[in-house]
Amino acid sequence: MSTPLRLGTRGSALAMAQSGQIADALTAATGRPVELVEVVTAGDRSSAPVHRLGVGVFVSALRDALVARTIDLAVHSYKDLPTAAAAGLHIAAVPPRQDPRDALVARDGRTLTELPAGATVGTGALRRIAQLHALGMQLEVTPIRGNVDTRLARVLGPEADLDAVVLARAGLARLGRADVITETLDPMLMLPAPAQGALAVECRIDDPDLVELLAVLDHAPSRAAVTAERALLATLEAGCSAPVAAYAELAEGDAGDEIYLRGAVISPDGTRELRLSRTGTPADAAEIGKALAAELLDLGADSILGQEGHTGPGTQQFGSTE
């Protein structure tokens, strides 16, 4: 029996579920046993609002463990990763992406349009807060923290104090809680965060055997979509509080597969927003993202981003999938 690979993961129910699924897939594909190693991150220890926690709070401890060789690989929610590459580390696989859309969980089975004016809606992401405000529905939007169960309890629990919450659909699906979703939100209403629904399997670049082993988990269409979205984000140099959204879809075109990328920058109060789209080939995924970001900047995206701080390339932190 081969020595088990040590897979580093956060200890939340969602992180453990995600990592367990990757461990099972890797063992099934290669026969190599995998053991989970819990790593506590700064984000797990803090109760501050997600968008104020700083860069890489759900990531840095896992990466430190990789560098220290106390784990062999790590699984991240891809949207938690700063856009700047980490020295000595490599994203060896982007497994098939879960549905990247956002989901509404509301009392009495309501959809978003059925919520009355003044309804209280909780979410942890400024991107969602900004887009909810932009709908002009006079909702009371409240920043919230906590794992999936904690957030759901704010709506469904015996001491519920909110009318609805908005979470990533992927996280609910991975936990087997998709049944509580009252509406999966159309990207025309709520454009997802860059890389939402995708996982990143990371290892040390000086371990070529493991890099090759993990490649079996890589899903080229998911990697291309995420590459386009994160190239847009990196080119915008979005700060940790910037409401930036992006969603790339792959579809069959006349000359083969095409990427259709939508991007948006929205002011936190929802009064200003820019939305554009661009198409191209999967091979040009990064260039599509960069070009769309350049168009957004030409239209004044930097002035919207500047309302919440603009901290330089690779420094965004969207918070965990939860």
Reported as a single tens digit per residue, the pLDDT across 227-247 is 999 999 999 986 444 689 999
β-strand partners of 105? 165
User: Is the model's pLDDT at 161 over the cut of 80?
Assistant: yes
User: Is the model's pLDDT at 51 over the cut of 50?
Assistant: no
112 with 228: CB under 8 angstroms? no
Which has the closest alpha carbon to 83: 193, 174, 208, 219? 193
- 89 three-class SS: strand
Residue 31, Cβ density class (10 Å: 0-12 exposed, 13-18 middle, ≥19 buried): exposed
Two tokens at 146? Answer: 């906590």
Q: Active site includes 64?
A: no
Which has the closest alpha carbon to 258: 283, 237, 226? 283
User: Is the model's pLDDT at 164 over the cut of 80?
Assistant: yes
Reported as a single tens digit per residue, the pLDDT across 86-120 is 999 999 999 999 999 999 999 999 999 999 999 99
Average confidence (pLDDT) over 21-50? 80
Average pLDDT score over the chain: 88
What pTM, to 2 d.p., does this model score?
0.88
Average confidence (pLDDT) over 126-155? 93
In the set 72, 80, 102, 163, the catalytic residue is 80
Reported as a single tens digit per residue, the pLDDT across 173-196 is 999 999 999 999 999 999 999 999
